[in-house]
Amino acid sequence: MKLRRSMLFLPGSNAAMLSTAFVYKPDSIMFDLEDAVSLREKDSARLLVFHALRMPAYRDSGIETVVRINPLSTPFGMKDLEAVVRAGVEVVRLPKTDTADDVHALEAEVERIERECGREVGSTRLMAAIESASGVVNAVAIATASKRLIGIALAGFDYVMDMQTERGDGTELFYARCAVLHAARFAKIDAFDVVFSDVNDDDGFLKEVDLIRRLGFNGKSLINPRQIDLLHNAFAPTQEEVDYSRRVVAAAEQGEKQGLGVVSLNGKMIDAPVIEHARVVLRRAEASGVRQ
């Protein structure tokens, strides 16, 4: 089970963060070349990220490397892509993805660069960030635009601007979250929620994490290392869930021996989707531990 609960952003221009971020052990590290990097630092940040991607500390860490490039419509996007594909990045995150054609255009360039630098064609994976009404309306087309896509992410700050509103209690994101999730599940790829910007508000962060976990997101974009353990813990199944899932699987196996498709456990019906859910809980506990 590939876990992508925590995707930690860090500005590609910040050499100190680049040289230490792996110690926090997020599931994925997202080096940003887009909005967290000022115009005058675009070139130096690209170079820093190129070298970070080649450091053994990242290559051998087991942490997935992602780079958020600038859109290809800017003077920086293509240079970013050339650098990071050649450096061996695992996933390219395309910001402000409005249509499936944005993904097609990216994929064509990635394939060209892979051929030019001798990297295996298809080995660079993609993710698309949806940051506008257009992106949300086209979410299914975007999510199914390329076999290279590992997931789609909702990006809340640009999205609420496009919707002429602001971040609040989550009501303003409800439709977009559901649309992104359905598109991802339809395409059988991962779905990632927005960043939570107040790094000192643990209660607010955990409330949002609880909501998106229950909706079905795989994880969330993060901006600070302090958010990682909070998120991992909240995504881990509870001991109670693990114990119950073990009883469900045992009851199902017992039923199978007796040739029964449906059995009862303490008066509750146990059939195929319940058994499958129990197995998922047990796989999650194995991969991520039990909630503390």
Ligand X SMILES: O=C([O-])CC(=O)C(=O)O
Query: Which H or E run includes 87?
Result: helix 77-87
| CB 132 to ligand ACO: min, Å | 14
244 is an interface residue for ligand X by CB under 6 A: no
**Please, which of residues 139-158 interact with ligand ACO by CB under 6 A?**
157
Select the residue interacting with ligand X from 195, 251, 252, 274 (CB under 6 A): 195
223 is an interface residue for ligand ACO by CB under 6 A: yes
Tokens 């955990």 correspond to: 206
How would DSSP label each residue in 258-284?
Answer: TT-S-EEETTEEE-HHHHHHHHHHHHH
DSSP letter at 124 equals: S
Token pair belonging to 143: 């999510």
45 is an interface residue for ligand X by CB under 6 A: no
Which segments within 155-248 are labelled E, that is strand?
Answer: 190-193, 219-222
- The amino acid that residue 149 corresponds to is L
Q: Determine if residue 31 is left, alpha or beta; phi over 0 gives left, psi from -120 to 50 gives alpha, anything else beta.
A: beta
Measured CA to CA, the distance from residue 133 to residue 145 in angstroms comes to 18
Residue 32 binding target from Mg ion, ligand X, ligand ACO, none, CB below 5 to 8 Å by type: ligand ACO
224 is an interface residue for ligand ACO by CB under 6 A: yes
Q: Which neighbouring-strand residues pair with 65?
A: 29
Query: Which H or E run includes 149?
Result: strand 149-154
Stretch touching ligand ACO by CB under 6 A, among 31-39, 70-78, 177-185, 258-266: 31-39
Select the residue interacting with ligand X from 21, 85, 153, 187 (CB under 6 A): 153
10 is an interface residue for ligand ACO by CB under 6 A: yes
102 is an interface residue for ligand X by CB under 6 A: no
Residue 153 binding target from Mg ion, ligand X, ligand ACO, none, CB below 5 to 8 Å by type: ligand X
| CB 34 to ligand X: min, Å | 7
Contact residues for ligand ACO, defined by CB under 6 A:
8-11, 16-17, 21, 32, 35-36, 157, 195, 199, 223-226
